Chains A and B, each alone.
Chain A
Amino acid sequence: MNCEVCQLKELDVEYFEIREVLRCILHTIFFHRALGLVRPKDVDLTLFEITYVQCGDAELEKKVDEKIDLFIDRVEKHPNKKNQICLSFFEVKNKQATWFTHKVEHLYWEQWYINLNVAQHPKPHSGKSHHSKLVLDPGESASDEGNARRATLESSLHEVLFQIIKFVNEKKDHIPPIPNMEGVSFPYEITISSSSDSAFGMDMFKRMLQTGHPTMLS
């Protein structure tokens, strides 16, 4: 089974926009991959005029928020670097256990790469006022430049969501059978990496070689 990889369009976000953007993208993906019984819940973004859909699974929401927190911490520790979240769906296959080894193999059948370019932000104790304003007051759109940037980001986020929809529609055969369960039916994992990591570029290169040109939808 091939592993379908989807490299989503890179988004330029501010520090305070990370949470909302990641929530929107991750839950949209999960809604398409949680093929068990779900009770859809519409969620309106506060920073953008976008409504996305959640599965209505409280456990899933909690795990997603935890990963987002980790991502934000990593961004704070590694500023000025491109950061990436990888959502992978896999199947668990148990290898034949030997006397020394007992491995559980994860067979990834789909990976989603969310690329965020976070604008430079100061640490809380720093004295940079022009960035601290954004940190302290995330809801303000102070200038026209900020509004233009926000509009551009909203449009890009729209594109990313449509990219997800198109990918889901085009790639269906690689999805394993749906287990009889509610909510997220397939196991998954969320990994965080940044461009500073040595394996960051290599992983991407390997995936490109395996899957061919990423599906970049217009």
Chain B
Amino acid sequence: MRPRDKWFNLALRDCPAALENIDFWRQSNLEPMVVDVVLVQRPVNWDYASSSPKVAFEQNFLSKDRFPVVWKSDSDEFGCDGHSEKVIERWIMRYESKKGCKEGSSGNKRSSTITSHALYKKSILLLRSLYVTVRLLPAYKIFREINSSGQIRSFSLVHRVSSSVEPLVRRDEAEMQQFTFTPVDTSCGKLCISLSYLPSISDTTSESSTPMSPQFITDYVGSPLADPLKRLLSASLPQYSPSSPFGRRHSWSYDTRMASPPSALPSPSPTYSESRTLHSKFGSHRPPISSRYSSLEPAQVHTKDTGYDEYFPSPNFSPSPSPSPPVGSNMLKVLLRSDSAPVYIPASRLGDAPLYSNKTVLPFSPPLQATRPSLSLVERSLSIPTTAGKLLSLRGEETARPSGVKISLNSSPHKSSSRSFSRLSFENSYDDSEFSGPFVVDDDDTIDPGSRPGSSDRSGNLGMQHECVRSQDAAVGALVQMLKKAPPLQQDLNRSQYVSKTSRPEKSSNQILDHPPHASSNVSSFSRVSGIKTTSDAMEELKGYLDVKQI
């Protein structure tokens, strides 16, 4: 450390930037030295990269005899539009000379020496106070903040050294506090240092450090808003209609939702609550989820049914107190369930019945194994020696009739009713092999190859022998059609005899069929199947007809 760095017993390093601009005062000029610390604020869209550090030197002519010097040190580009400057500190140093005092006057050396020691001591004390004071001012915090973080901020500090005191803005001047250091007396004058500073400048620089107020994030990962798939699934949730007991109605509504842009986060809707009521009707025993949607729909939490959760899994953000399975497994279950129970969509019905267009929204569809024999039985019962057109027409009538009647009669628990849903849906949709498609049931266990349409010659008897669940209306319709288009008696008699000889009765469900060895029993099975008054009348007529044939 050089000796000059130890002046006033304060070991400091040089500051070249400060030393360069005080030459004016080195020339023993008695002009005051005014140092302004300016806070420069740039606009929000200020481009830091476009600016470059600059040091500008200006000369201002205030009077003829004086050439005050104004030096500016700025890290910004001068003339930057939009930036504002605010003087936050002003240091004024001046030497006030005494009148009538002559410099270098001869005097008592001892007194001058003492004076020099005292002067030096007081100067040391002054500088110590100055050193500490600078670090207690608000500008020092800004200085440290700028230098500590590598962030590009919208404000910066600059200093200006001038020999004139520029008037401040009235408002700023009123806000500033004053502090005057004790002057250091010399033989011919005194050195005075005064300070004006803004006591609080936090409002100016708080824009970069103001923490955000806590806010709820509604579209983070896992929420329906963030995940489009979940949004679609959750958006379709309110579309459940109580008037559509079939899953197909739901799928239809789901399809329409798919066609249209999905709505925003589904808010609690009447349909949503009604659909939940629907499930409760059928005895849903699943425990309700309490807080899956607690953050979104707190009013609905306590009534939410877990059944919906399986198809429209809740977001992951809200904890669920109920021991419900995780979301991913729910979705997997839905997909697996859908895949395990494909729906055969007959081509003729795709336009008529959008109910059957989507396989995924059969909420309670069990596997098809139990229902497939019934499909074949339906086919066989209808493929009585008639033309193929008859079959198609019969099928068309079947599908036209709502199969929801069976639901109303079925008071069994939830799952059994769902089976009936699926059975009806499948028996109405299942058709001949000519309607094969990607959803054709292809299970050897459930479909007897012998019951294929190709063996329809024996279907008159075989159809009765297989397990078959038909709607009563469909059976009546089929019977009426059969009666209307029955072949001549002689031909029918021959056929029936042939069928009774060659066909072998197979097991059938007790619910529907019996297996009489003769043809008349075949007819009576139909009567059992129908079991209504109008059908019984028809059966009696048929019986009479057959008796006539035999005669």
Contact = CB atoms under 8 A, between A and B. Distances in A.
Q: Do A and B come from one complex?
A: yes
Interface of A: 28, 31-32, 35-40, 42, 49-53, 158, 161-162, 165, 168-170, 172, 175, 177-178
B136 A40 contact: no
Query: Closest 8 A-B residue pairs measured CB to CB?
Result: A169-B182, A39-B11, A51-B135, A37-B9, A165-B129, A32-B128, A53-B132, A35-B124
Given A35-B121, A170-B182, A162 B10 contact: no
A144 to B, nearest CB: 14
Interface residues of B, number: 23
A31 B9 CA distance: 11
B6 A37 contact: yes
B141 interface: yes
Interface string B496-523: 0000000000000000000000000000
A169 B180 CA distance: 9
B135 A49 contact: no
B136 to A, nearest CB: 6
A172 B182 contact: yes
Given A35-B121, A37-B10, A51-B140, 11 more contacts: A32-B128, A36-B9, A38-B9, A38-B11, A40-B12, A40-B131, A51-B136, A51-B144, A52-B135, A53-B132, A169-B182
Contacts of B4: none
Nearest to B133: A165
Given A37-B6, A38-B10, A40-B12, A168 B128 contact: yes
Chain B CB within 10 A, most for which of A161, A165, A169:
A169
A53 B136 CA distance: 10
A158 B136 CA distance: 8
B255 to A, nearest CB: 55
B122 interface: yes
B11 A42 contact: no
A48 to B, nearest CB: 11
Contacts of B117: 177-178
Contacts of B122: 172
B126 interface: yes
Given A32-B132, A53-B131, A178 B121 contact: yes
Contacts of B12: 40
B125 interface: yes
Contacts of A42: 135
A50 to B, nearest CB: 7
Contact of A49 (B11, B141, B181): B141
Given A38-B10, A42-B135, A172 B125 contact: yes
Nearest to A35: B124
A151 to B, nearest CB: 12
B459 to A, nearest CB: 84
Contacts of A162: 133, 136
A181 B522 CA distance: 129
Contacts of A161: 132, 136
Nearest to B135: A51
A168 B132 CA distance: 12
Contacts of A32: 125, 128-129, 132
Given A32-B125, A37-B11, A52 B132 contact: yes
A32 B181 CA distance: 14
A52 B128 CA distance: 12
A169 B181 CA distance: 6
A139 B129 CA distance: 30
Interface string B106-141: 000000000001000110111011011101100011
A105 B136 CA distance: 38
B125 A35 contact: yes
A165 B181 CA distance: 9
A162 B195 CA distance: 13
Contact of A169 (B11, B125, B135, B141): B125
Contacts of B131: 31, 40, 53
B121 A175 contact: yes
Contacts of A52: 132, 135
B11 A53 contact: no
A35 B140 contact: no
